[in-house]
Amino acid sequence: MKGNFLTKDRDVLVRYKTYEDSAGNAMGVKWHHIEKEGYEATDTVIRMPVDIGNWRFEKLDSESCMATMTFQFHPGGNPPTWLVNMIVKYYAPHELEHLRSICENE
């Protein structure tokens, strides 16, 4: 995540996993933060210590679904609350578009 003149950039490494319920009515993507050799934090970026979440897509009918996003993150450091709120409002729709592009390309 790019910071602005008030805050340093943040980064996090996550592992994504897809899932589907046994009835086939819901599916989704879960993620959680990981550590990986060769991708250590640097002095110019703050590594977020927590990033856990999921997207759940529940089938409503043959042409629509309900998308629910749940996530928990800790940005590290002390960014102002207004900035964290701005990131949250920005993040969800952009992440959904990213997931859509992945699905369309598959």
- 66-76 confidence digits (pLDDT tens): 888 888 888 88
Domain boundaries, the chain: 9-105
Alpha-carbon span 105 to 92, nearest angstrom: 20
Work out the average pLDDT over 31-59. 87
Phi, psi angle pair for 87, to nearest 5°? -65, -45
Q: By CB neighbour count within 10 A (0-12 exposed, 13-18 middle, 19+ buried), where does 10 fall?
A: buried
pLDDT of amino acid 21: 85
User: What type of residue sits at position 61?
Assistant: D
Comparing 33-37, 60-64, 89-93, the range with the smallest average pLDDT is 89-93
pTM of this prediction? 0.67
Work out the pLDDT band at 3, boundaries 50, 70, 90.
Answer: low
Task: Output the CA angle 26-29-30, nearest 5 degrees.
Answer: 120
Q: By CB neighbour count within 10 A (0-12 exposed, 13-18 middle, 19+ buried), where does 69 fall?
A: middle
pLDDT score of 47 more than 70: yes
For 9-105, CATH number out of 3.40.50.300, 3.40.605.10, 3.30.530.20, 3.90.1200.10 equals: 3.30.530.20
